Amino acid sequence: MNLENTIFRATFDYRVKLVNDWIRIIKTTECQKREEAFKIVVFKMMKDIVKKNISNCLNLLNGAGKQDMPERDELISECYIIFDKCLSKYNIEKGNNFYFYFNKSISRHFFKYYQRECQSLSVELTEAIHTTHPKLHCQSEPDLIEALMHHFYFTEIDKRITRSRLQDKKISEFLKENTDVTCNQYSKSLQKIKEILNYYKETGEL
């Protein structure tokens, strides 16, 4: 049985006041075994949050064209690390809800992870442009660039992203200037451009 099924084999109902009381015990107890026992139970209550965010992350990475996908159990372990940090920072006050606090933290973490992967693909594209056809990075030959993009049947978004990468612009800069393009669209286009360039390089046409 994998780690995910082992931890989340059973479903525990989440109750705000009860969890706040348990977190107070976690923060104050001097018994390590008691602390760990309460942590495990509270983490089990986070089942829906953990599984949802992991699935969303994997779907985004798959849509971005990432080849080396992380294992779910690896991400489960990462979720527990974030969970542990959230416990130490969580402020136990009436009206505060750890469920929402943890969900916000883990969603933010995985989105940043996704953005880093997008950035990695962007760097790979720039390197592919440089190695397949160095002249593509020469601003004195814009007609060649446009002609090749037309030859490759690049979409308008593909062309804008290619021009952006040739100017060494970051993803954040491009998205700020092109509000009609989402991060997911950027990633998919980036992966497609890279595959096209590599194909023409392998066939000797570049």
Q: 4-42, pLDDT tens digit by residue?
A: 888 888 888 899 999 999 999 999 999 999 999 999 999
Question: What whole-number distance in Å separates Cα of residue 196 and Cα of residue 194?
Answer: 5
- Return the closest-CA partner of residue 199 out of 155, 137, 133: 133
Of 113, 135, 169, which one is at a domain's C-terminal end? Answer: 113
Asked if 126 and 106 sit in the same domain, the reply is no
**Do 111 and 119 meet the contact criterion of CB atoms below 8 Å apart?**
no
Asked if 142 and 104 sit in the same domain, the reply is no
**Do 105 and 86 meet the contact criterion of CB atoms below 8 Å apart?**
yes
Asked if 62 and 43 sit in the same domain, the reply is yes
Per-residue pLDDT band at 140 (split at 50, 70, 90)? very low
Asked if 99 and 148 sit in the same domain, the reply is no
The tally of domains found in the chain comes to 2
Asked if 33 and 125 sit in the same domain, the reply is no
* Total number of residues shown for the chain: 206
Domain that holds residue 152: 115-202
Residue bearing the bigger pLDDT, 102 or 204: 102
Asked if 49 and 81 sit in the same domain, the reply is yes
Q: What is the mean pLDDT of residues 108-120?
A: 78
pLDDT at 146: 73
Residue bearing the bigger pLDDT, 10 or 123: 10
Asked if 102 and 122 sit in the same domain, the reply is no
Asked if 7 and 50 sit in the same domain, the reply is yes
Asked if 97 and 154 sit in the same domain, the reply is no
pLDDT at 141: 46
**Do 136 and 148 meet the contact criterion of CB atoms below 8 Å apart?**
yes
